[in-house]
Amino acid sequence: MKINWGTAIVLAFIGFIGFILFFIVRMSTDNRANHDLVTEDYYKAELEYQKEIDAQNNSTKDVAQLQVKKQSDGLRIEFPENLSPEKIKGTVSLYRPSNKQLDFNLPISLSDNHLLIPDKRLLDGRWDIKVAWTYQDKEYLHKENITY
């Protein structure tokens, strides 16, 4: 049986449309392609953004820069040496862009000028770290992206 040009073009269109429909059905039902908003309360977080900008400016103005270092036993967050560790309060938020079930928050309670996040809590991959802390009623914020 011979296929003429018209039949070949119609078969090509049917094959292409079938492939596109298969691709759409597969991507809409696959859990790996499930992408949510970055945060649940996105618009509320957007209104709070100016406070974050002010806190980040405080940390650069007051020379209160943190250092985040990867070590064999975990992730070490070092606070400035000139600050009293007992007066530092706040939280460390670790956000995993690829899986929101891995996100967690840690309260800051220091006896020394560093905080260690154990290696068993962190999987390999990208993490967004947000350290929001206060010292003598002044708010500071440090944001960093690392690949662990």
CA torsion through residues 146, 144, 37, 23, sign = negative
Q: Is the pLDDT of residue 39 over 70?
A: no
Residue 59 φ/ψ region, left for φ over 0, alpha for ψ in the -120 to 50 degree band, beta for the rest: alpha
Q: Is the pLDDT of residue 60 over 90?
A: no
- At 122-144, the pLDDT tens digits run 888 888 999 998 988 889 888 98
pTM for the structure as a whole: 0.65
Cβ(75)–Cβ(116) under 8 Å? yes
